[in-house]
Amino acid sequence: MKVYIDGEFYEKEHAKVSVFDHGLLYGDGVFEGIRFYNGRVFRLEEHIDRLYDSARAICLTIPLSKEELTAATVETIRRNELRDGYVRLVVTRGDGDLGLNPALCPKATIIIIAAKITLYPQTAYENGLMVVTCATRRIPHGALSPMVKSLNYLNNVLAKIEAQNAGAGEGLMLNEQGYVSECTGDNVFIVKRGKIFTPPIASGALAGVTRGVVFELAAAAGLTLSEPDMTRYDLFTADECFLTGTAAEIIPVVTLDRRPIGDGKPGPVTRDLMTRFHELTQNTGTVIY
């Protein structure tokens, strides 16, 4: 495996950053997870745009243009001779000292990793996930905007631990008002009487790239999609539920807090969207080779 760090490629065992990097010391940085399929990078432009938006929101200057970073991302995939896989694109505040002051970090560090990924087993896509509600609440906008895809994912990690301890595949996170926000690493959708619903961004959800793709797929299928405030009641009484994320793609949810959603099986709308999504990923995107 070859890893890109600040313009150079290193073998995995030699790919290192300083212990004084503020991404390590303080979680000070941003990242993107990006998928590529069949020799094409899926929605690369949207991911790059979101990375720069996240960086701007935390006053982090990325020392490459969007075009240069796009080229470096594609080249990293080429160097690893992959046609299907996952890219982790990381930008840290860079090397500094033990103080918190970001001004003491003269230049950001850019890391690009291209590899394979399997987030959930195939049986989960066929039979659906068990999800539980986490006690850990989503960080509010007033503390740190959930729109920033930062390196500090401890809020999500703690909720993920709760889900794992409960034997569930994912954990549902609520905001401080008790409304549904998102899962620990995925956006959440429900289907009710043929209409699709998902929490608004203001609830604390990340503006997921795959989330946006579902909006497009729903419109193409003639389905209504809206973004109301949602509670657990809405999930308990839904006909179907599914999650979306770059690594997860689209995956059905069949129980919440051990209560079956709908008939307890992946529903027809979810399955149709999964099929449409897979077809789209195989035929669109930035060409690698």
Catalytic residues: 149
- DSSP H helical ranges for 60-171: 66-79, 122-127, 154-165
Phi, psi of 22 (to 5 degrees): -70, -15
Between CA 255 and CA 112 the distance in angstroms is 36
Name 4's Cβ contacts closer than 8 Å, sequence gap at least 6: 72, 75, 76, 79, 110, 111, 112, 113
Angle CA 137–139–31, to nearest 5: 120
Encoded tokens for 123: 């049986």
- Report DSSP state, residue 150: B
Dihedral of CA atoms 234, 120, 34, 277 in degrees, nearest 10, equals -60
Length of the chain equals 289
Distance of CA 249 to the CA centre of its chain: 9
- DSSP H helical ranges for 61-114: 66-79
Q: 């149709």: which residue's tokens? A: 272
Q: 């960080």: which residue's tokens? A: 139
Between CA 184 and CA 201 the distance in angstroms is 15
In this structure, are residues 176 and 206 in contact, taking their beta carbons and an 8 Å threshold? no
- List 126's β-bridge partners, or say none: none
